[in-house]
Amino acid sequence: MLRERITEFFKDLGYILKKFFTSRILPFVLVSVALFSVLAYRVFNLQIVSGEDYSISYTLKAEKTVTTKGTRGNIYDCNGKLLAYSELAYSVVIEDCGYYDSNKIRNAALNSIISKMITIIEGNGDRINYDFGIDYMPGRGYYYTLSDSALLRFLRDAYGHKAVSELKDEEREAAAADTAEVLRARYQIMTPADLEKKKLEDKEAIAKNPNKVIDTDYSKIETYNDEMAIKIAYIRYNLAANSYKRYISFTVATNVNPHTMTSILENGDILTGVSIKEDSVRKYNYGNYISHIVGYTGKISSEQLEEFQKTNPSYDANDTVGKAGIELAFEDVLAGTKGETTMLVDSVGRVLEITDQKEA
């Protein structure tokens, strides 16, 4: 009985196979199987075999072009004696190149990074290149460092207007402390006083609407003293000036000593976007005798930037320019022509490949 069933089963199987192989759909089935096999192989190759390579290639989406400054020209007297020259130095620079889930997280992370960076720089005996419209001094508080038209242009930018004429009367007459508070609020920089004010506002908001959801875990909020807060605001302000080109770096400190360089590099894992770059510092011979003639250089002011860009759009907020004397009078000759570097970067600003380079 069992033997007959087995024989019958194989007969039926043979019949089915014979019918299948003689069927008109066989070519379509074979083609489908072949295509599926190719698809399965490609998926395996893309995800397993070459997954890492394709992942890297996928990130090559952002192309950035940055300008590179040339070494400033030398100044000689009529007998060929060197009066002014540039010497190799190292600077601390920062880029806003991190990736954050929200603007709140970004602000907190950037403020913390900048605070740590400033602490390292100043802790090793160096200073940041502070050139802002507001400063802070213990015992004096906040005060403006500009006057007249330069102050009005600063207030225009601080209060987010396109023209000085758009400033309201209260903004034109605002005290330095009030403008500093506006800047801190913009970049979510908290002083202890700001935090206490926030706690009071949150308490009043909850009293008016008990169902309102407010995060009252204030232990996560980092606070800074008034002096550190305005320094952070200064660097955030300059980073925001290049927000349309996120990967342009801002020079925080120039001609730093080896201790600062070492500390910055050692803390690279927590200082996202902060790095050391080669730069130059201006040196003068016979300075005691002819400094009033040769002049000096310094970080470009907002007023100079607007003026120089009228004839040379390549100037930016990070440039060092002549401030007086021959340095200023022959700025267009001494500055030379900037170079350009075009590169591919990943989503957090890491340079992956340099595609083109034009020397300064």
Answer yes or no: is pLDDT of 244 > 60: no
Return the closest-CA partner of residue 331 out of 80, 73, 67.
73
Model pLDDT, residue 56? 54
Model pLDDT, residue 281? 87
Q: Please give the DSSP secondary-structure letter assigned to residue 74.
A: P
What single letter denotes the amino acid at residue 321?
V
Model pLDDT, residue 324? 92
Better-scored residue on pLDDT, 285 or 300 = 285
Give the Cα separation of 154 and 150 in Å (integer): 6
Summarize the confidence of residues 234-246 as an average pLDDT. Answer: 77
Asked whether the CA dihedral 163, 169, 173, 175 is positive or negative, the reply is: negative
The alpha carbon of 246 is separated from its chain's Cα centroid by a whole number of angstroms, namely 5
Strand residues in the chain grouped as ranges (E)? 62-68, 75-76, 82-94, 134-137, 141-144, 250-253, 274-284, 296-299, 320-324, 339-345, 351-358
Within 10 angstroms of residue 7's Cβ, the number of other Cβ atoms is 10
Answer yes or no: is pLDDT of 53 > 70: no
On the 0-12 / 13-18 / 19+ scale of CB atoms within 10 A, 66 is middle
pLDDT cut 90: percent of the chain above it: 45
Across 18-22, 149-153, 160-164, least confident range: 18-22
Model pLDDT, residue 265? 93
State the pLDDT confidence band at 346, using cuts at 50, 70 and 90. Answer: low
Better-scored residue on pLDDT, 353 or 342 = 342
Asked if 193 and 143 count as a contact pair (C-beta separation under 8 A), the reply is: no
Model pLDDT, residue 228? 96
Give the Cα separation of 271 and 115 in Å (integer): 10
Q: Return the biggest CA–CA distance within the chain.
A: 124
Across 44-53, 108-117, 149-158, least confident range: 44-53
The alpha carbon of 169 is separated from its chain's Cα centroid by a whole number of angstroms, namely 34
Query: pLDDT, tens digit, for every residue of 207-222?
Result: 888 888 888 788 889 9
Q: Dig out the tokens for 280 from the structure.
A: 């130059």
Give the Cα separation of 92 and 30 in Å (integer): 65
Model pLDDT, residue 216? 78
Within 10 angstroms of residue 120's Cβ, the number of other Cβ atoms is 22
Asked if 5 and 13 count as a contact pair (C-beta separation under 8 A), the reply is: no
Q: Please give the DSSP secondary-structure letter assigned to residue 188.
A: T
The string of DSSP letters for 297-320 reads EEEPPHHHHHHHHTT-TT--TT-E
The string of DSSP letters for 85-149 reads EEEEEEEEEE------SSHHHHHHHHHHHHHHHHHHHHHTT-------SEEEETTTEEEES--HH
Model pLDDT, residue 20? 64
Answer yes or no: is pLDDT of 352 > 60: yes
Q: Which residues of 46-65 are buried (b: 16+ CB within 10 A; e: fewer)?
A: eeeeeeeeeeeeeeeeeeee
Q: Give the mean pLDDT of the chain.
A: 85
Better-scored residue on pLDDT, 126 or 240 = 126
With residues binned 3-state (H G I as helix, E B as strand, rest as coil), the percentages for the chain, rounded to 5, are 50, 20, 30
Summarize the confidence of residues 269-277 as an average pLDDT. Answer: 91
Summarize the confidence of residues 252-256 as an average pLDDT. Answer: 93
Enumerate the β-bridge partners of residue 354. Answer: 343
State the pLDDT confidence band at 52, using cuts at 50, 70 and 90. Answer: low
251-256-258-260 Cα dihedral, nearest 10 degrees: -70
pLDDT cut 70: percent of the chain above it: 86
